[in-house]
Structure 1
Amino acid sequence: MDNTANSGAIVQTEDVDLFYRVYNAAGGRPTAEQLQRDYLDRGSDGLELFARLRNISGERIADRLTKNPDLYADAKRCLAALPRAKVRLETALHTLGHLYADARFPPVTIAIGRGKPVAVGGPDTGIQVGLEALCATDWLNPNVEDRIVYVLAHEYAHVQQVIAATIGDKEKPTVLELSLVEGIGEFVGELIAGQVAYSRNAAAAAGRELEIETRFAADLDKTDLSDWVYNATPDTPGDLGYWVGYRIAKAYYRNASDKRRALREILEMTDARDFLARSGWYPGIELN
């Protein structure tokens, strides 16, 4: 079955409009009560899910707004990039549907959150994006339109991943497991949209591939993730597990004679150790 006919990107932005109505009516200083009552409690189902998954409340938004008002004042400029980004995303998802017949395309909810995370996506939850966080993370990609496209392509890859549905229930996932979750998101995102979301990681690793991946090989069974994932800041690249996981997935794909089958196996991977063994990856591998 070719799933390309069902690959239209439904990008919902009404929660952003709702937030800025509350924000503007309060002169840019809404209270926690106003944010809870007039924004979060009146938002879409996608916003309700986002708030529940990431502990977003009126109080937490108000606190963030007080500490960093520019975060919310600047986010409005990113709305202008959404129409063109949506067209490009539809093209990427059409490619995904063509390459992977079982692909799913839940709607994207773009809303305003508490400054993080940038985006979350999974097989059972769809995709939610914090516009203020995405707009502020120009270190991901300086071009706002590109940033939106590549981040959403990455998140749509997570929607397809079998392991992404269960990894959150695991008490202590390993460095390898989470690096593959994120690295596969990067690889599939690049495959369908043309570039990874975390583009600065390759530059940070250039010339250090063997050294970085030798350290990774020593740490891959550890459950202390702090050296490898979810540690990036605007000043420090971090998240090098994304880059290593991407390279493992790319090695797997490159070494496969049947690329469509390989993509299915990448997305449906559940055993990280077995996948690594079959990938052909080793520290410092040269990948074109």
Structure 2
Amino acid sequence: MRNPRTLCVNPNLFSEAIMKIIKMGFDPSSLMFAHGLRRLLGINKGIWEAKLAVYRSFGWSNAKILSLFRKLPMCMGALEKKISIALDFFMNKLNWTPVDISKYPTTLFLSLEKRTMPRCSVFEVLLSKGLMKKAGMGKALKVSEDVFLKKYVVKYEEDLPQLLKPSLTVNYLINSCGLSPESALRAAQYPTILLLSLEKRTMPRCSVIEVLLSKGLMKKGQMGNALMKAEDVFLKNYVIKYEEDLTQLLMIYQSKMGVL
């Protein structure tokens, strides 16, 4: 069990919790049983009821709440405010039903600002063009950043370049390159950056920049300028310059470019 303190509770309360979690439909032989038990023991009755009330306020029945809890015990671990904000976005903005959410329960607790909302701005465009179905949103929210960019952005960049580029460039700079929202917006203010190919230029260069930032050899404020440099200048100033100390830089860059 990941939390040893679960075993340090009153034996009677522990036994009652085990019986209750079994009645909820958890399989004692599954790992999810331990997660569910830990959540149940870690929340007092008043807070538990308060969280149930949040779900009910959005039209969730007890059966649907229980079904979600069995799939994702952490759904009762988040603060009431976070649960409410997430449910409001998915149910009132995206028109998802409890059934939709239960199919992809982890999406409910992804970062709204850094992941869900930026990706949904892309989905909105793809849905309007008939290039995506609503049923595919759950899976698209779960995939890694690289997979998302390849499958939902790069694939359509020739047909929808200006529509997708600005928000996706900023989103990529934040999530995959580690920039703060302020730094990403600052970098994206360079008009050329918004016209660059994410797959062939921005992503390979970000892989190099990430290494240089981690070694203190570059500042985030220099990123926009580095992304705009001509290929030979970028290689000279940001790769070859450090190849003796960071031999992996050229290999990383070439692999991302598809040269290797």
> What is the TM-score when the length of structure 1 is the normalising length?
0.34
Counting strand residues as a fraction of each chain, which structure ranks higher? 1
Counting helix residues as a fraction of each chain, which structure ranks higher? 2
In our comparison, the structure showing a higher alpha carbon Rg is: 2
- Greater relative contact order structure (CA < 8 Å, 6+ sep): 1
